[in-house]
Structure 1
Amino acid sequence: MDLSLVLQSGDPVLQSVFGLLMLMSVVSWVVIIARSRLLWVIKRHQQKFMASFWEAKDWHEALGLAQQHQAPAAALARSGAESLRHYRTHEGGGLGKAVSLDDYLVRNLRTRLSQESAKMERGLTWLATTGSVAPFIGLFGTVWGIYHALVGIATTGSASLSTVAAPIGEALVATAAGLAVAIPAVIAYNAFIRSNRRFAQELDGFTHDLHAGLLVEGLMGTGSEVSNGVR
């Protein structure tokens, strides 16, 4: 059945159901395309930065490279270097006495890691909501179409094909439309969750290595060199 005919012959309730499903589908595909492109760009920048970071001669050069990249790992490196610089600037005051360098770096790197992970999850709530709600919206349209079929039978006193064909057809199309909106959203959501999980594991490992390196640099008293390298 042609969807345009359903929209033309259906009542306002059924038209609203199809309109809502179409809107949800359009937004979902926009999110899917945007997130796919973002993941591709981030992965490319991440691989490039990680390769250059670990090939650097020393931490001074490695942290300096963080200023030239937009990868999440580069943001972590910049945050860690800034935390070390800030700690050493206030080492003789209340900050140095209140918390150790180890704890200070862990707290700041953990906060930055959470922020970078949150960026990767943008848009996933919409996909999860669409995948969960769209089938029920389609089911509502199905129930509404069956209701009209029953009303038609009661009005005409006949259960002929001409009486029930249109509303039953609209009901079936509503069910199919709900599934057509939900299935791509669910598939994309699961794919993004898997990709984000692997990315988070990689970033978490980098954070541990970064923390260890910055801690050694700080304890050796080279924090000023590190901070100069990232300005």
Structure 2
Amino acid sequence: MNLALVLQSGDPVLLSTFSLLVLMSVISWFVIAVRVRQSWLTGRQQRKFTRAFWDAKNWEEAISLAASHDSPAARIAHAGGEGLRHYRAQEGAALGRSVSLDDYLVRKLRNHLQQETARLERGLTWLATTGSVAPFVGLFGTVWGIYHALLGIAQAGNASLATVAGPIGEALVATAAGLAVAIPAVVAYNAFVRINRRFGQELDGFTHDLHAQLLTEVNHGVR
């Protein structure tokens, strides 16, 4: 099975199919590399921040830590602190009379939790799409290659097994290429979904604890 021969003898449609598969593979591996790095950094920064946040001596120190760290939990904590400050500043205005502090903080934290969850899922749509589409792209290339191989055999007037096996076998390379592109994308997608699920559970627990802490700080007179 000679891939170079397939590319040399292929028509523009077959060449375009292989080019598309190569492009999908390159982008998928780039996304995988970026996501691996981001997942590792996020996990390390998340653990470091949460330990420092809950070990802070007071609320002001905790909020300062949130402003200086770059992690999903830090951004949620900073948003919660800003939400509390904004609500207390508007306590005598229409905002304070229209909704309770508890409801306002729940809405504020929930929105930022959803934003951080969406941030963690960046790139996964491409991996899922590649894993679903690449086999069919490869199959299309195989069907197209077989079609032209059969036309060539018919024109040659020689339908022996030796004559048919070569062109058909070369055309099947496209299916193998499609699977080679799809399998890493599917494996990576499943791995990242599992990692994001764990991050999501950690963020959900942190957000609930933060909400309770914010209500506690209100009783302590934090403004």
Aligned to 2:23: 23
Pairwise CA distance, 1:166: 4.1
- So what's the TM-score if we normalise by structure 1? 0.93
Cα RMSD after superposing both structures = 1.3
Pairwise CA distance, 1:37: 0.5
Rounded to whole Å, the distance in 1 between the matches of 2:204 and 2:58 is: 21
Residue type at the aligned position of 2:95: L
CA contact (8 A) 1:152 1:163 kept: no
Aligned to 1:168: 168
2:172 partner SS: helix
Moved over 4 A (4+): none
Rounded to whole Å, the distance in 1 between the matches of 2:33 and 2:190 is: 15
1:135 aligns with 2:135: yes
- So what's the TM-score if we normalise by structure 2? 0.96
2:158 partner SS: coil
Aligned to 1:227: none
Pairwise CA distance, 1:163: 3.4
Deviation larger for 162-171 or 100-109 = 162-171
Rounded to whole Å, the distance in 1 between the matches of 2:156 and 2:3 is: 26
Rounded to whole Å, the distance in 1 between the matches of 2:171 and 2:197 is: 39
Rounded to whole Å, the distance in 1 between the matches of 2:132 and 2:179 is: 10
Aligned to 1:228: none
Aligned to 1:62: 62
Q: How many percent of aligned residue pairs carry the same amino acid? A: 70
Aligned to 2:36: 36
Rounded to whole Å, the distance in 2 between the matches of 1:102 and 1:39 is: 32
Aligned to 2:216: 216
Pairwise CA distance, 1:161: 4.5
CA contact (8 A) 2:128 2:185 kept: yes
Aligned to 1:103: 103
Aligned to 2:177: 177
Deviations 1:1-46 (A, max 9, x none): 2322221111111111111100100000000001100111111111
2:182 partner SS: helix
1:28 partner SS: helix
Aligned to 2:203: 203
Aligned to 2:79: 79
1:49 partner SS: helix
CA contact (8 A) 2:6 2:171 kept: no
Rounded to whole Å, the distance in 1 between the matches of 2:164 and 2:152 is: 7
Rounded to whole Å, the distance in 2 between the matches of 1:196 and 1:29 is: 18
Deviations 1:154-174 (A, max 9, x none): 212221345334421222111
Residue type at the aligned position of 2:185: A
CA contact (8 A) 2:2 2:170 kept: no
Deviation larger for 10-19 or 199-208 = 10-19
Which runs of 5 or more residues in structure 2 are unaligned? Answer: none
